[in-house]
Amino acid sequence: MRIEAKYSHLNGEEYLLVHRKQLWDEVKEVIAAVDAASCRTKVSREKTMPGKVLFSPADMNRAFKDGLKVRGWSERRSTFWLTADEKLMRGIYGLPESEQKRAIEQAGYEPIMSYNQTDFVKERVAVEVQFGKYAFVAHDLFVKHLSFYVSDIIDVGVEILPMKELEREMSSGVAYYERDLLNVLRQGRGVPAVPLVLVGVAP
């Protein structure tokens, strides 16, 4: 695959070039090594394109996962505890996980465990590869990357998306770079408040 377009939000790419150039080079190497043609394996069952052979999100995700894992990128989870009391939640957000739970219990509430998960993290850089439904990208950008950044786990997030030319050859409802670029731009320059690089890929 090739990088067709990219957007640096809050100097995300500039940060990588100065502080994590090797990791940025690794991400680009992985993208270049993905054989898109070998991922055209999904036979469509949709009424609008029955029998058409499409690019498989599962196969493309697997190719990216294999390339990143062999270079030392791994999954990272951030666990936290929740309750419905807004004031209490604001007071405990920055505390360690065990202290969050204890504070909720001491206040007389039932603690609810939750977590955010990022598929690939290495040396404070997170990468999400998103060939799924379009709603998942907003969760990546405004929840996953932002949460890991606010929690001081990462310094920058990278979101890899199909370009429209690739999305046309996939099942309906898949995210694509051009739309999600607009979704970021229309929020204003400071939202989401995390340095990001949006990367659009194509065969």
What is the C-alpha to C-alpha distance for residues 26 and 30, in angstroms, rounded to an integer? 6
> What is the predicted pLDDT for the residue at 82?
94
Task: For 100-146, write each residue's pLDDT tens digit.
Answer: 999 999 999 999 999 888 889 999 999 999 997 777 888 898 889 99
> Of the given ranges (8-22, 55-69, 86-100), which has the lowest mean pLDDT?
86-100
> What is the predicted pLDDT for the residue at 176?
95
> What is the predicted pLDDT for the residue at 50?
83
CATH number at residue 47: 3.40.91.20
Instruction: Report residue 201's pLDDT band, with 50, 70 and 90 as the boundaries.
Output: very high
> What is the predicted pLDDT for the residue at 171?
84
Assigned domain for 91 exists: no
What is the C-alpha to C-alpha distance for residues 169 and 1, in angstroms, rounded to an integer? 14
From residue 75, alpha-carbon distances to 111, 113, 116, 117, 147 in Å are 25, 19, 11, 7, 15
> What is the predicted pLDDT for the residue at 10?
97
- Helix or strand (DSSP H, E) at 114: strand 112-122
Domain count for the chain, please give it.
Answer: 1
Assigned domain for 142 exists: yes
Residues listed for the chain: 203
Assigned domain for 89 exists: no
Task: For 134-168, write each residue's pLDDT tens digit.
Answer: 778 888 988 899 989 988 999 999 999 999 999 99
> What is the predicted pLDDT for the residue at 94?
80
Q: How many beta carbons lie within 10 A of that of residue 33, not counting itself?
A: 12
Assigned domain for 86 exists: no
Mean pLDDT (whole number) for 57-79: 94
- The structure tokens listed for 129 are 């590869």
Assigned domain for 72 exists: yes
Assigned domain for 181 exists: yes
Assigned domain for 88 exists: no
What is the C-alpha to C-alpha distance for residues 170 and 61, in angstroms, rounded to an integer? 13
Q: What percent of the chain has pLDDT over 70?
A: 100
Name the residue range of residue 155's domain: 2-76+118-202
Q: How many beta carbons lie within 10 A of that of residue 100, not counting itself?
A: 23
Assigned domain for 159 exists: yes
